[in-house]
Amino acid sequence: MIFEVCIKISSSERFINWIGDGLDKSLRTLIMFIISLNCTYFFTRITYQIIES
């Protein structure tokens, strides 16, 4: 599910304008996937801290 969202976001016009249109589609997808993994980790850590406290 996360990968499908990454593909849709990486092909959006706003993301292409933000990251640059000179990149290949596979590189844009990889960058979006890495960003989403970092966000998932961040929100997981916040949730864990809230549960622990």
pTM of the model: 0.69
Nearest to 19 by CA among 5, 53, 27: 27
User: Which H, E and C letters describe 19-44, residue by residue?
Assistant: HCCCCCHHHHHHHHHHHHHHHHHHHH
- Taken in order 20, 24, 35, 16, the sign of the CA dihedral is positive
User: What is the tens place of the pLDDT at every residue in 2-32?
Assistant: 778 878 888 888 888 888 878 888 888 888 8
**Band of the pLDDT at 50, cuts 50, 70, 90?**
very high
How many beta carbons lie within 10 A of that of residue 6, not counting itself? 21
Other Cβ atoms closer than 10 A to 52: 6
